[in-house]
Amino acid sequence: MRTGTSSWTDRTITSDPSTDPLAGVTADTYEIEAEFDLGGATAPRFGFALHARSDGSSDRTVLYDRAAQTLYGASLPPVGNRVKMRLVVDRGQLEIFGNDGRLSYSGNVNFDSSPGSQGIRLFAESGSVRLVSLKLHRLGSGWGTGQATLESNLAGPWQAVNGMWTDTAGGKRGMHTGDAFYLSDTTAADFTYEGDLKVVNGVAAALTFRANADATQHYSANIDTNGLLKLWRPGHVIATYPTTVTPGRTYHLKVVASGSNIKVYMNNSTTPAINAMDSTYASGRLGVNTFNGTGEFQDVDVFIG
């Protein structure tokens, strides 16, 4: 059920949000694997805020208390001066495992799945602790929300915004007289995002990223049969690169986004065709787009961290 994994290593975590590797990351159903080194730690407590919101609240906080040697209130002495946590977050359930199963907990939690309540925070109170490793696995549904023909590590459910979207032998196909989007449930801030695109007929096909739920805000990197590779957001073309785009031919695009810097690579080139700066949107959903015609998409994957 893991649809995508992000990982981080060797970080010092404090109460300063800038030390949080999960800053800007959102998810609805997921699994966290983390290991902490208590040698030199000064924070009395550290842990995760789950389904967190911008006002600082969260649906559940899982803390390790160094003095009491407890995780989520249950006894968990360190092993070799280290503490391991594994958290599984479902829409109505939280599971906690400590130090490879020495502690286990399962409980019902009414997690708020609205878009503004899907934040995750890692923090330390009044001091610091060293994060040895952290993995975030996004979890898909076991009830058929995957895509029948689209190979992708993006989490579902997927949402169509305009147009007609169908499964074909070649992947996911979208048709519309204007802009149509097919958005996954995966959101990200900084990432490498790539996929195979084809303009079957018409004007353009694109990888879309940092989008809101109705795609009124987004970035898109598209192949345009007018002879362009284009990076744009609503109302503004950020950058273009002249290149021949032939209907019926498959092109591979890769987007590397880091803060306000966005690079777009074409057909596995090691040199970006577009290297631009734009800070309008910091994070959002990943998906695909077709414009004024029919586009087809396959092997759409994101790599975060």
- What pLDDT digit, counting tens, does each position of 183-232 carry? 998 999 999 999 999 999 999 999 999 999 999 999 999 999 999 999 99
Distance CA 51, CA 92 (A): 12
- Does residue 36 share a domain with residue 94? yes
- Does residue 181 share a domain with residue 118? no
- Does residue 266 share a domain with residue 184? yes
- Does residue 234 share a domain with residue 179? yes
DSSP characters for 30-96?
A: EEEEEEEE-TT---SEEEEEEEE-TTS-EEEEEEEETTTTEETTEE---BTTEEEEEEEE-SSEEEE
Is the pLDDT assigned to residue 145 strictly greater than 50?
Answer: no
- Does residue 209 share a domain with residue 124? no
- Does residue 96 share a domain with residue 47? yes
Which strand (E) or helix (H) includes residue 174? strand 171-188
Distance CA 26, CA 189 (A): 9
Considering only CA atoms, give the Rg of the chain: 21
Does residue 210 belong to any structural domain of this protein?
yes
**pLDDT value, residue 173:** 94
**Final residue in a domain of this structure, among 91, 106, 139:** 139
Phi, psi angle pair for 92, to nearest 5°: -130, 15
Quote the percentage of the chain above a pLDDT of 90.
79
CB 58 within 8 A of CB 48: no
Degrees (nearest 5) of the Cα angle 251, 256, 259?
150
Does residue 55 belong to any structural domain of this protein?
yes
**Final residue in a domain of this structure, among 104, 139, 174:** 139
Does residue 129 belong to any structural domain of this protein?
yes
- Does residue 25 share a domain with residue 124? yes
CB 210 within 8 A of CB 302: no
- Does residue 292 share a domain with residue 164? yes
- Does residue 187 share a domain with residue 127? no
- Does residue 187 share a domain with residue 124? no
- Give Cα 271 to chain centroid, integer Å: 24
Is the pLDDT assigned to residue 12 strictly greater than 60?
Answer: yes
- Does residue 292 share a domain with residue 231? yes
CB 209 within 8 A of CB 255: yes
Does residue 152 belong to any structural domain of this protein?
no
| pTM confidence score | 0.56
Does residue 148 belong to any structural domain of this protein?
no
- The CATH number of residue 26's host domain is 2.60.120.560
Least confident of 11-20, 123-132, 158-167: 158-167
Does residue 43 belong to any structural domain of this protein?
yes
- What pLDDT digit, counting tens, does each position of 48-101 carry? 999 999 999 999 999 999 999 999 999 999 999 999 999 999 878 999 999 999
Does residue 26 belong to any structural domain of this protein?
yes
Question: Total domain count for the chain?
Answer: 2
**Final residue in a domain of this structure, among 139, 172, 206:** 139
Average pLDDT over all residues of the chain: 92
- What pLDDT digit, counting tens, does each position of 252-280 carry? 999 999 999 999 999 999 999 999 999 99
Q: List CB contacts of 157: < 8 A, sequence separation 6 or more.
A: 141, 145, 185
- Does residue 104 share a domain with residue 45? yes
* Strand ranges (E), 259-283: 261-266, 274-277
**Six-digit token string for 263:** 């690079």
Read off the pLDDT of each residue in 104-123 and give the average, rounded to a whole number. Answer: 90
Does residue 284 belong to any structural domain of this protein?
yes
CB 238 within 8 A of CB 255: no
Range of the domain at 195: 159-303
